Amino acid sequence: MNQKRILVIDDEVLIRRALAEYLSECGYDTVTAGDGAEGLATAHAQHFDAVLVDLRMPRVDGLEVVATLKAEQPELPVVVVSGTGVLHDVIEAMRCGAWDYVTKPVHDMEEIAVIIDRVLDRAGLIAERDRYQQELEQLNRSLEATVARQTADLRFQNRELTALNHIISAANTTLDPVEILRVLCTELALALSLPHAIATLIEPDSTTTAIVAEYRRFERLSALGDSTSLTQPALAQVLQQQSPLFIEDAQADARLGEWCATMRARETAALLLAPVVVRGRVMSILGLETSSYRTYSDRDMALIVNAAAAAGQALETLSLQRELRLHADTLEATVAQRTAELSVALKQAQAADEAKSQFLSSVSHELRTPLTSILLYLELIGRGKADNQQRYLDSVAREVERLQVLIESLLDLSRLDLGKTTPQLQNINLNGLLLTLAVDRDRLFTERGLHLHLETTADLPEISADPKLLEQVATNLLTNALNYTPPGGHVWLSTANSTADGVPWVTFTVRDTGPGIAPEEQAQLFQRFYRGAAAYKSKSSGTGLGLAISQNIVALHRGRIALESAVGQGSAFTVWLPCDA
Amino acid sequence: MSCIRVLIVDDEPLTRTSLADFLQEMGYTVVMAEGGEIAIHLQQEQAFDVCIVDIRMPGMSGVETLLALHRITPQSRYLVYTGSPQFVLSPALENIGITESDVIRKPLPDMSIFVERIETLLDLGTSRMDV
């Protein structure tokens, strides 16, 4: 325990000495001063634990000492010594800051010791209280600082989370990558209090990049649309290292190349470049611009990297969604197309099936009719009247012949359908072929009271064709004319050079003065087993297959059959054959 | 026998004439028509005991012909003679008394079925008249 130091100030030597001695005996380290001025100087120069001061002193009196010490060292206990009967002095001293008082003459020195002890205790308590208070205040301050720091941390983390959340959720509300980059710029600028944030978009295999999104404060010039080369050293470095790059002096750094001028124009001081990576490829470069120099803390950098990564994820989600949608669309289109194709194929198959059963039904009907007659006459030949036998035999022969023709025709058609009929091509003169035919048939026409005329074109070129097949066609057409033209009528067989589709053709025409064919019948005339109204009116026994066979044969020669007819005006069937055949 | 009059309606000339030849041999009086219009015309002039009608004909169909002939002479009897395997009796034909046994399908292996059917139809008619 340190010895307490007491300063005794009194102008009376005896009293001063007596007090000092007594207090020294009590265990205090005592220093004396002879007047107020000396006392103050001593108090200034040294440390004391208490001061004992006489009130009535020349020059600087005790009250002044009390007031001065109170002002300078309020924690220093000052006890005044006052003469008896001047109580107002004591009151004044207490008011000026004295801690306690002693009255003279001092009868019992112990009183002084008690008072000194008391003020020392009080001073100790006050000092302790002050110390505690200081400690408390300090503790309070550090606590406040900690809370403030943690609050700032939390606020920043919250801002970061909000920013990341906005960026990631942007992928769910938009299909536009530019919109996601715009959200990234906005969130980073707001989180880091930046005046301007830009983002470029880098297309695959592109050598340049353009700014497609930005966030800017109103005072900043827009950077949208600015484009720059990816060979610019700063961008090239970000592209290659896929990590952020801080450019301290954006207006002069050589790595920015031509962009320095742009930075000057936009009054950008510092620039931080950061890549947005999607599936290993830098899809965008982010530029954080500030108008004055600033640094980025580790926490700032973490936020930037995390936000760029979130944007990368959002863009990836987007591109996956796009791909998925594209695949879905393609798939849908493919399915629709396949369905349509299948539907067409099914309809064709059904139509073919129906045509086939229709054909079989017709064939069976056409075969049964003569067969019925034959059976019937065979029965009559056995049991009928003798006079009629010859007629029955004739009928059987006629029906058998009809069956034979029908079966031959069916076989012809079947061979044509199966592609088993190979035309035996040779160079032929159509005029000669038709002349032979006309001469052969002339008698038949004359017997029916008809006139057959042959009108050939002299300079007809030879064509490559199967003469037997063409003869079959001409015969079919002539037979139809023969069957359907009323007696007294005319039939013309003619040849011609014609042109169609810009190429030369050779044609032959069978024209008659028959009843003509109604337009609605013309379309069906070439169908198998179709027989026009005229077939029923005339007594002719056609098979309904002649025109179908003829059309197939002509098609085999890459030609076609044209029909020109009107009811009451006769009919003209023209066979077109290509010259180069 | 010779008083039984039969009308044959068929567009196929050979079917028509061959059946006519057969029925004449069997002793019937036979008239032929190549279509419904002519048949109606003939029925109006002289009522036939039995009409044999083809179904598949150009112009007026066999069914139309049968219904028209029945309207003219309800007491006539009818036989359907068809080569079409798809043919089925319609309610309209059943209403005028034609049954499945009155349908004769081509080709016919034995023509005598015509004689049997005609005689059955006319016997029925006779017994009714007796009542």
Is the model more confident about A285 or about A363? A285
B13: pLDDT confidence band, cut at 50, 70 and 90? confident
Q: Which residues of B touch A372 (CB under 8 A)?
A: 15, 18, 83, 106-108
pLDDT over threshold 80, residue B83:
no
Res A292: pLDDT: 87
What is the distance in angstroms between the Cα of A580 and the nearest Cα belonging to chain B?
A: 43
Angle at B70 between CA B67 and CA B72, to 5 degrees: 115
Encode A494-543 in three state secondary structure: EEEEEEECCEEEEEEEEEECCCCCCHHHHCCCCCCCCCCHHHHHCCCCCC
Helices A389-417 and A298-383, packing angle to 10 deg? 160
B:29-68 residues touching chain A, CB 8 A cutoff: 34-35, 56, 58-59
Q: Which of A107-111, A208-212, A362-366 has the lowest mean pLDDT?
A: A362-366
Q: What is the pLDDT of residue B131?
A: 32
CA of residue B126 relative to chain centroid, distance:
18
For residue range A497-509, list pLDDT tens digits in order: 988 888 899 999 9
Indicate the pLDDT class of residue B125, thresholds 50, 70 and 90. very low
pLDDT of residue A289: 92
Q: Model confidence at A276, in pLDDT bands (50, 70, 90)? A: very high
Please answer whether residues A56 and A146 qualify as being in contact, where contact means their C-beta atoms are separated by less than 8 angstroms: no
Does residue A87 or residue A143 have the better pLDDT? A143
| B108/A375 Cβ within 8 A | yes
- The number of helices, as runs of H, and strands, as runs of E, in chain A is 15, 18
Give the distance from residue B115's alpha carbon to the nearest chain A alpha carbon, in angstroms: 13
CA distance A212 to A516: 77
Tell which of B8, B14, B37, B54 to mutate to test the A interface (max A CBs under 10 Å). Answer: B14
Residues of A in contact with B34 (CB under 8 A): 536
SS (H, E, C) B21-64: HHHHHCCCEEEEECCHHHHHHHHHHCCCCEEEEECCCCCCCHHH
Cβ neighbors of B89 (< 8 A, separation 6 or more) are B98, B99, B100, B103
Residue B52 clears pLDDT 60, i.e. is over it: yes
Residues of B in contact with A384 (CB under 8 A): 21-22, 25
Per CB-CB distance under 8 Å, the chain A contacts of B85 are: 361, 364
The mean pLDDT value for A531-540 works out to: 63
Q: Given the DSSP bridges, would you call strands A100-104 and A426-428 parallel, antiparallel or unpaired?
A: unpaired
Chain A residues with beta carbon closer than 8 angstroms to that of B56: 365
Q: Residue A581 above 60 pLDDT?
A: no
Average the pLDDT over each of A61-65, A540-544, B117-121 and give the range with the smallest value. A540-544
Give CA–CA dist B120/A44, Å, rounded.
164
Least confident of A318-332, A374-388, A430-444: A374-388
pLDDT value at residue B1: 45
Of B21, B59, B107, the CB nearest to A380: B21
Residues of chain A in contact with residue B52, where contact means CB-CB under 8 angstroms, are none
Nearest-Cα distance to chain B for A445, in Å, is 22
Of residues B11, B83, B111, nearest to A376 (C-beta): B111
Subunit contact B85:A364, Cβ cutoff 8 A = yes
* Strand (E) or helix (H) holding A465: strand A463-465
Beta bridge partners of A54: A81
Q: What integer pLDDT is reported at residue A537 of this predicted model?
A: 61
Q: How close is the nearest chain A Cα to the Cα of B93, in Å?
A: 23
Q: Does the pLDDT at position A531 exceed 80?
A: no
Are A368 and B83 in contact (CB < 8 Å)? yes
Closest Cα in chain B, distance from residue A453 (Å): 31
User: How confident is the prediction for chain A on average, in pLDDT?
Assistant: 88
pLDDT in tens, A189-243: 998 899 999 999 998 888 999 999 999 999 888 989 888 888 899 999 999 999 9
Identity of the amino acid at B122:
L
pLDDT of the residue at B128: 41
Q: What confidence category does residue B58 fall into, taking pLDDT thresholds of 50, 70 and 90?
A: confident
Segment A445-464 shows an average pLDDT of 92
Q: What's the pTM?
A: 0.47
Calculate the alpha carbon distances from A443 to A415, A440, A451, A480, A483 in Å.
Answer: 32, 7, 10, 16, 14
pLDDT band at B127 (very low <50, low <70, confident <90, very high): very low
How close is the nearest chain B Cα to the Cα of A375, in Å?
A: 7
Q: What is the pLDDT of residues A15-46, one digit of tens each?
A: 889 889 999 999 999 999 998 899 999 999 99
Average pLDDT over residues A157-184: 86
B129 pLDDT band, cuts 50/70/90, is very low
| Mutation site for A-interface testing, chosen from B11, B19, B21 by largest number of A Cβ within 10 Å | B21
Q: What's the mean pLDDT when you consider all of chain B?
A: 85
Q: Which of A376, A402, A541 sits opposite B19 (nearest CB)?
A: A376
pLDDT band at residue A422, thresholds of 50, 70 and 90? Answer: confident
Angle between helices B13-25 and A298-383 (to 10 degrees): 40
**Edge-first strand listing for the sheet containing A490-500:** A451-455, A490-500, A503-512, A571-578, A560-565
Residue A258 has pLDDT above 80, yes or no: yes
A95 interface with B at CB cutoff 8 Å? no
Pairwise pLDDT comparison (B130 vs A177), residue with the higher score: A177
Nearest by CB to residue A388, choosing from B12, B21, B109, is B21
Distance CA(A317)–CA(B110), nearest Å, equals 84
Q: Cβ of B14 and A399 within 8 Å?
A: yes
A559: which 2 tokens?
């030609």
Q: In what order do the strands lie in the sheet with B29-33?
A: B29-33, B5-9, B50-54, B77-82, B103-105
User: What length is written for chain A?
Assistant: 581
The partner residues of B78 in beta bridges, in order of sequence, read B51
From the centroid of its chain, how far is CA B66?
Answer: 8
Contact A452, A445 (CB under 8 A): yes
B15 contacts chain A (CB < 8 A): yes
pLDDT, one tens digit per residue, over A327-351 is 999 999 999 999 999 999 999 888 8
Sign of the Cα torsion A517, A520, A525, A528 reads: negative
φ/ψ (deg, to 5) at A517: -125, 130
**Contact (Cβ atoms closer than 8 angstroms) between residue A68 and residue A80:** no
> Which residues touch A416 (CB under 8 Å, ≥6 apart)?
A549, A552, A553, A556
Contacts of B22 in chain A (CB under 8 A): 376, 379-380, 384
pLDDT tens digits along A286-330: 999 998 888 899 989 999 999 999 889 888 888 888 888 889 999
Handedness of CA A191, A195, A201, A206 (dihedral sign): negative
pLDDT at position B68, please? Answer: 94
Rounded percentage of chain A residues whose pLDDT exceeds 90: 45
Q: What pLDDT is attached to residue A577? A: 93
Contact B21 A377 (CB under 8 A): yes
Residue A320 pLDDT: 86
Does B115 contact A at CB distance below 8 Å?
Answer: no
Report the residue of chain A nearest B57, measured CA to CA: A536
What is the pLDDT, as a whole number, of residue A315? Answer: 87
Which H or E run includes A109?
helix A109-173
Task: In whole angstroms, give the CA distance from residue A233 to residue A252.
Answer: 14
Taking a C-beta distance cutoff of 8 angstroms, is the pair A245, A272 a contact? yes
Q: What is the pLDDT of residues A383-405, one digit of tens each?
A: 777 888 888 888 888 888 888 88
Question: Does residue A300 contact residue A253 with C-beta atoms inside 8 Å?
Answer: no
Of B22, B34, B56, the CB nearest to A376: B22
Residue A5 has pLDDT above 90, yes or no: yes
Q: Which residue has the higher pLDDT, A153 or A541?
A: A153
Helix A109-173 / helix A13-25 crossing angle, nearest 10 deg: 70
Banded pLDDT at B124 (limits 50, 70, 90): low
